[in-house]
Structure 1
Amino acid sequence: MSNENVPITYKEISAQAEAIKAAWEQLQKQSDWVNRYIGNEKYDEVVFIGSGSSYYQSITMAATFRKWTGRSASAQPSSDIFLIRDATLARDKRILIVGVSRSGESHEVILALESVKGLPHIDTCGITTHETSTMFGMTECLLSPLGKEKSTVMSKSLSSMTFMMQAAIAMASGQDAYLQELQTVLELDEELVKASDTIIKEWVAAHDCNKTVYLGLGALGGLALEACLKLKEMTYTWTEAYGTLEFRHGPKSIVDSGTLVCLLLSESTREYELQVAREMKDYGAQVLLITAKRGDDTDFADLVIEVGGAKVSDEARSVLYLPAVQYNGYYSAMKLGLNPDDPRNLTQFVQI
Structure 2
Amino acid sequence: MSSTFGQLTYPEISAQAEALAAAFKQLEAQKEWVTRFIGNPAFDEVIFIGSGSSYYQAQTMAATYKKWVGRPASAHPSSEIYLFRDAAAVPGRNYLLVGVSRSGESTEVILALESVKGVAGWTTCGITCHEDSKMAQMTECLVSPLGKEKSTVMTKSLSSMTFMMQAAAALASGKPELWAEAARVVEADADVVKAADSFAKSFVQEHDLHKFIYLGMGAYYGLSQEACLKIKEMSYVWTESFGTLEFRHGPKSIVEPGTLVCLLLSETARSYELKVAEEMKAYGATVLVVTAYKGDDTAFADAVFEVGGRELSDEARSVLYLPALQYIGFYTALKKGVDPDHPRNLTQVVKI
User: 2:326 — aligned with what?
Assistant: 326
State the Cα distance separating 1:88 from its structure 2 match.
Answer: 1.1
User: 2:66 — aligned with what?
Assistant: 66
Distance in 1 separating the partners of 2:345 and 2:181: 39
Question: Is the partner of 2:315 in helix, strand or coil?
Answer: coil
User: 1:130 — aligned with what?
Assistant: 130
User: 1:26 — aligned with what?
Assistant: 26
Question: Is the partner of 1:315 in helix, strand or coil?
Answer: helix
**Structure 2 unaligned blocks of 5 or more:** none
State the Cα distance separating 1:141 from its structure 2 match.
Answer: 0.1
User: 2:241 — aligned with what?
Assistant: 241
State the Cα distance separating 1:135 from its structure 2 match.
Answer: 0.1
Query: Is 2:90 the counterpart of 1:90?
Result: yes
User: 1:292 — aligned with what?
Assistant: 292
Q: How does 1:74-113 map to 2 (within 5 A)?
A: 74-113=74-113
- What amino acid sits opposite 1:177 in the alignment? E
User: 1:264 — aligned with what?
Assistant: 264
State the Cα distance separating 1:200 from its structure 2 match.
Answer: 0.6
Distance in 1 separating the partners of 2:88 and 2:351: 22
Q: Deviations over 1:103-148 (max 9, x none)?
A: 0000000000000000120000000000110000000000000000
Distance in 2 separating the partners of 1:51 and 1:39: 24
Q: How does 1:1-352 map to 2 (within 5 A)?
A: 7-352=7-352
Distance in 1 separating the partners of 2:210 and 2:109: 34
Question: Is the partner of 1:109 in helix, strand or coil?
Answer: helix
Distance in 1 separating the partners of 2:108 and 2:53: 13
Q: What is the alpha-carbon root mean square deviation over aligned residues?
A: 1.1
Question: Is the partner of 2:41 in helix, strand or coil?
Answer: coil
- What amino acid sits opposite 1:310 in the alignment? R
Q: Deviations over 1:196-234 (max 9, x none)?
A: 000110110111111000000011000000000000001
State the Cα distance separating 1:184 from its structure 2 match.
Answer: 1.1
Query: How many residues in Structure 1 have an aligned counterpart in Structure 2?
Result: 351
Q: Deviations over 1:289-327 (max 9, x none)?
A: 000010000000000000001000000001000000000
TM-score by length of 2: 0.98
Distance in 2 separating the partners of 1:312 and 1:203: 26
Q: Deviations over 1:222-271 (max 9, x none)?
A: 00000000000011110000000000000000001110000000001000
Question: Is the partner of 1:157 in helix, strand or coil?
Answer: helix
Distance in 1 separating the partners of 2:108 and 2:221: 23
Distance in 1 separating the partners of 2:318 and 2:151: 22
State the Cα distance separating 1:25 from its structure 2 match.
Answer: 0.1
Question: Is the partner of 2:324 in helix, strand or coil?
Answer: helix
Percent identical among aligned pairs is 66
Distance in 1 separating the partners of 2:26 and 2:217: 29
State the Cα distance separating 1:82 from its structure 2 match.
Answer: 0.9
Distance in 1 separating the partners of 2:312 and 2:48: 24
TM-score by length of 1: 0.98
- What amino acid sits opposite 1:285 in the alignment? A
Aligned 8 A contact 2:6 2:341 in 1: no
Runs of 4+ off more than 6 Å:
none
State the Cα distance separating 1:6 from its structure 2 match.
Answer: 5.6
Distance in 2 separating the partners of 1:196 and 1:31: 32
**Structure 1 unaligned blocks of 5 or more:** none
Aligned 8 A contact 2:127 2:142 in 1: yes
State the Cα distance separating 1:182 from its structure 2 match.
Answer: 1.1
Aligned 8 A contact 2:6 2:340 in 1: no
State the Cα distance separating 1:5 from its structure 2 match.
Answer: 7.4
Distance in 2 separating the partners of 1:5 and 1:265: 31
